[in-house]
Amino acid sequence: MANGFSLATIAEPEVGRPGINVLTGLFGLLVVAGLGAGLYGFVVGHEHVYNNTREVPWGLLISTYAFFAITSTGLCLLAAISHIFGGNKIAPLANRMVWLSLITIISGFLVIGMEIESPWRMAIWNVISPNPTSNIWWMGTLYGLAVGFVILEFWLIITRQYKMALVLGIFGAFAETAANSCLGGVFATLPSHPFWYGGTIPVYFLACAFTSGSAAAVLFTHYAYAIRGKRMEEHMFNGVQAAAKVLMLMLILVSVSTFWRMISFYVGGTDAGRAAADSLISGPLSTNFWVFEVAIGLAAPLLLLALTRVRSLGAMSAAALMTLVGMFVSRLDMVTAGQLVPHYQGFEDFPALLSYTPSGFEWMVAFAGIGLCGMAFLLGERFFGKVFADHGGH
């Protein structure tokens, strides 16, 4: 108990119905299976369980981490903005967004922890041997700080210390934004990979953060009421509508950004950059790009939101789900396409493009991240449900 406030006063035990408990357990099994796959990789060697090679060292686990980290940034920023400017329509979603921001970044840490061959060394040397010239060091450090800030913010929200929660939320939002920028910088500062190189990736990642964050806010708020079998209150529905309008705007911006980014490789870009773009437009990644990234991830949700005029909860939720699927595949496409063009491009008797297909073990680890997110969402609704319904103090 803190400040006369106990867990019993904020929990909703009725959410823990048998069916929801079974679903929570299934998500937990995904986590256990993925952890088992990752631990097996530590024992036998990552090269035996993951399909990454010396030429294509980054794959599904890097892209999955990026997806979770970017989504966490968007949720944290939207929550901070709604808390700062209290009384806005999206404010009723803010407390749940703080929790979602926390569990998505932890899910990302789970996945990247299984990808790094010696994560314990990273944790140690990150502290005792910092490298301020490294984007990766800044990214890890800032996301670590952000997790600390968001944990404290959520605790302060639970204990109704809203003024301090607001301060911590602002610090968390700044840390996540900077970390998201550094994550983009990891790709943007690699001149040997022309498909990534340039100053647009960090800004693009920020746009994707708002896209994924608003989609997650819509989707999980709808699911929160679905698992309770309750009708959504008007103020909460208005909040979902506001988040859906943000989503609609960001889908337009990301679509424009995607279009011009691809066009840029054909009007003065390097041969390697153009070859990487070809792999998406007409090459081995074309199905991913056109079906999942463009059609399902951008065009369909934008069309659905426009046709329903952001008035149907089911349509908004479906658009949000499609957007998150598209964002997930988009991260995989970006990570993979940037590495498929070999550095020895143009030499005879060498392939024009390298190949990469995620292994079953990689998919198990990726689904462990999804499982952890799903399990933590359901447990959060059970133990903190009344916190998510309370926004009057902001």
The domains of the chain are located at 7-246+359-389
CA angle 122, 178, 243 (to 5 degrees): 120
Average pLDDT over residues 368-385: 97
Which residue in 150, 136, 63 sits closest to 103, CA to CA?
150
Q: For residue 116, give the 3-state DSSP assignment.
A: coil
Answer with the residue of higher pLDDT: 368 or 129.
368
Q: For residue 258, give the 3-state DSSP assignment.
A: helix
Task: Quote the pLDDT of residue 85.
Answer: 83
2 phi, psi to nearest 5 deg:
-135, 130
Only one residue has tokens 């943000």, namely 246
Check pLDDT > 80 for residue 335: yes
Q: What is the pLDDT of residues 57-76, one digit of tens each?
A: 999 999 999 999 999 999 99
Only one residue has tokens 């119905």, namely 17
- What distance in Å separates the CA atoms of residue 237 and residue 349, rounded to the nearest whole number? 60
Which range, of 2-16, 91-105, 377-391, averages the lowest pLDDT? Answer: 2-16
Task: Quote the pLDDT of residue 1.
Answer: 46
Q: How confident is the model at residue 263 (pLDDT cuts 50, 70, 90)?
A: very high
- What distance in Å separates the CA atoms of residue 14 and residue 4, rounded to the nearest whole number? 23
* Domain 7-246+359-389, CATH among 1.10.287, 1.10.357, 1.20.1630, 3.30.70: 1.20.1630
Is the separation of the CB atoms in 67 and 331 below 8 Å?
yes
- What distance in Å separates the CA atoms of residue 145 and residue 175, rounded to the nearest whole number? 7
Tell me which long-range contacts 195-201 makes (C-beta under 8 A, separation of at least 24): 195/265, 195/272, 195/273, 195/276, 195/277, 195/334, 195/337, 195/338, 195/341, 196/334, 196/338, 197/273, 200/257, 200/261
For residue 153, the one-letter residue type is: E
Q: What is the pLDDT of residues 198-244, one digit of tens each?
A: 889 999 999 999 999 999 999 999 999 999 999 999 999 999 999 99
Q: Kindly state the percentage of the chain with pLDDT values over 90.
A: 84
Q: For residue 68, give the 3-state DSSP assignment.
A: helix
Task: Quote the pLDDT of residue 5.
Answer: 61
Task: Quote the pLDDT of residue 393.
Answer: 54
Q: How confident is the model at residue 14 (pLDDT cuts 50, 70, 90)?
A: confident
Is the separation of the CB atoms in 94 and 79 below 8 Å?
yes
Alpha helices in 45-88 (DSSP H): 46-49, 60-84
- What distance in Å separates the CA atoms of residue 58 and residue 187, rounded to the nearest whole number? 11
- What distance in Å separates the CA atoms of residue 76 and residue 171, rounded to the nearest whole number? 10
Q: What is the mean pLDDT of the chain?
A: 93
Q: What's the pTM value of the predicted model, to 2 decimals?
A: 0.95
